[in-house]
Structure 1
Amino acid sequence: MAPLDCRNLILDLDGTLVDSAPDLTRALNHVLASLDRPALDPQTVRHMVGQGAAKLIERGLAHTGGAEGVPAVADLLPGFLDFYGAHIADGSRPFPGAVDLLDRARAAGLRLGLCTNKPQAMTEALMDALDLSDYFDVMIGGDALSGRKPDPVHLDTVLARLGDGPAVLLGDTATDVAAGRASGVPVGVVSFGFSAIPAAELGGTFLIDDFADVDRHLAPLARPARV
């Protein structure tokens, strides 16, 4: 595939830019411990992430005995959010090569956007804690608009705020692929993210096994082949 023209590079957050599984796991286990449920390991939890904190709690309950006889997810959610907010970057880190990619993109003159279903306040807190916010021209969380990915209003708003020019989205789940399709944006899918479905089966435009792979897919970053 020939390198794609790109003026605006947009990234998902959890499972794409940042490995947040350690802290999400601790927050979920905090809730489970309050119910005398067994703790889950990060590898299990990483495939539960997506569609918000309430869905993560729901999946955690299902994995540890079901929802019968425990408080409603809505009642468990504040405890999860309070704990997670206090420990949002204890163990979360950018994936290997992510910061180098951001540096290369900025050096090439690309505008950078963040399109995540994570709530806006937590998005900003995590990005600030990891010193990533200044790379991005636009960051829009999942509760900032009337809809969130894959609703096209989310990605379309990021695109509108970035300005004119061809765009590419990098993500890790079927939600990202669906969002890209809804907005007419090519999607590069990382293979190291949180999707329980193999990345190669998600139907993205191209596959990313390492952030260095992105360069050959985007014309502004592609280097001439050495001879």
Structure 2
Amino acid sequence: MLASAYDFHLFDLDGTLVDAEWAYTRGVFDRVGNRLGRRFSDDQARILWHGLTGSRNETLRSWGIDPDAFWDAFHAEEDPRVRAESTYLHPDAERVLAAVEGPTGLVTHCQEFLTGPVLDALDLHDHFDTVVCCTESTGWKPDPTPLELAMDDLDVGPDRARGYYAGDGEGDVGAAWNAGLDAVHVERLGHAERGRCVLGDHRVESFDPLL
């Protein structure tokens, strides 16, 4: 696969283009655990942060945790400034964003109050012609609606142009296919840690093969 073979480009953010330092992630889960009166192990923190089991809400329920209570606590403990300072851009992501031509969008589960500061800190705003942060009203990946909103903003679509969506999770692949796009799965953690192999139209460990 070459990105140049596509007319437009859609990307996920966390785990795909950027990642947060582990110390930040561990600290957030320590504080969330204090709010909920329980402790999250390192494995549990990684599973939820990266969505390793697919649906985070189903995982929370299987651990006896109410998802609404968890997300309320989680968002209350995420500090936009500290999150931005603790987030780094993968070098291969920087290369692909500099190289792609044509309409380019970002579709992320990362909430707007966090996404903006991260893009500011990493000087990424100019790389995207549209940014869609998923909400209850847009739906959550693998629902295609967030991707369709981005395509509407870009005035593109699978019926008019060839595009792909690149992400690190199963939901990203599902959203791409449900929206009629090619799916690029970026496996940054390795199959062993994920515990499964995620299929996609293209499977890469970095964006360099797209160049």
For Structure 1 versus Structure 2, the TM-score category normalised by the shorter chain is: 0.7 to 0.9
| SS of corresponding position for 1:16 | coil
Q: Aligned runs of 1:108-119 on 2, under 5 Å?
A: 109-119=101-111
CA contact (8 A) 1:32 1:61 kept: no
**SS at 1:81 equivalent:** helix
Letter in 1 for 2:46: R
**Distance in 1 between residues matched to 2:73 and 2:200, nearest whole Å:** 36
CA contact (8 A) 1:171 1:177 kept: yes
Q: Is the 8 A contact 1:29 1:39 kept in 2?
A: yes
Asked if 1:96 is matched to 2:91, the reply is: yes
TM-score, structure 2 normalization: 0.79
Task: Quote how far apart the aligned CAs of 1:143 are.
Answer: 1.2
Q: For residues 24 and 162 of structure 1, do their structure 2 counterparts lie closer, same or farther at Cα, with a shift above 3 Å needed?
A: farther
Q: Which residue of 130, 136, 140 corresponds with 1:138? A: 130
Query: What is the match of residue 143 of structure 2?
Result: 151
The 3-state SS of whatever aligns with 1:97 is helix
CA distances 1:62-101 after superposition (whole Å, capped 9, x unpaired): 3xxx54xxxx554454443232124212322112321121
Q: How far is 1:34 from its partner?
A: 4.4
Q: Report if aligned partners of 1:119, 1:144 keep a CA contact under 8 Å in 2.
A: no
- Out of 82-91 and 150-159, give the one that drifted further: 82-91
Are the equivalent residues in 2 in contact too, given 1:168–1:187 (CA < 8 A)? Answer: yes
Cross-structure match for 2:15: 15
Q: Is the 8 A contact 2:134 2:140 kept in 1?
A: yes
Provide the C-alpha distance between the structure 2 equivalents of 1:85 and 1:37, rounded to a whole number of angstroms: 21
- Which residue is equivalent to 1:188? 184
Does the 8 Å contact 1:21/1:46 carry over to 2?
A: no
Change (3 A) 1:146 1:77: closer
Q: Deviations over 1:84-143 (max 9, x none)?
A: 1242123221123211211111xxx22211111222232222222222122111110111
Q: CA separation of 1:39/1:3 partners in 2, compared to 1, >3 Å: closer, same or farther?
A: closer
% identical aligned pairs: 25
Cα deviation, 1:17-51, whole Å, max 9, x if unaligned, reads 1113633332122111445644533x652332349
Q: Give 3-state SS (helix, strand or coil) of 2:131's partner.
A: strand
Q: Which residue of 2 aligns with 1:30?
A: 31
Matched position secondary structure for 2:123: coil
Distance across 2 between alignment mates of 1:126 and 1:3? 24
Aligned with 2:174 (options 163, 166, 178) = 178
Q: Distance in 2 between matches of 1:146 and 1:126?
A: 21
Secondary structure of residue in 2 paired with 1:26: helix
Q: Is the 8 A contact 2:17 2:89 kept in 1?
A: yes
Structure 2: 5+ residue stretches without partners? none
SS at match of 1:122: helix
Amino acid at match of 1:12: D
Report the count of equivalent residues: 200
Measure, in 1, the Cα distance between the counterparts of 2:76 and 2:203: 36
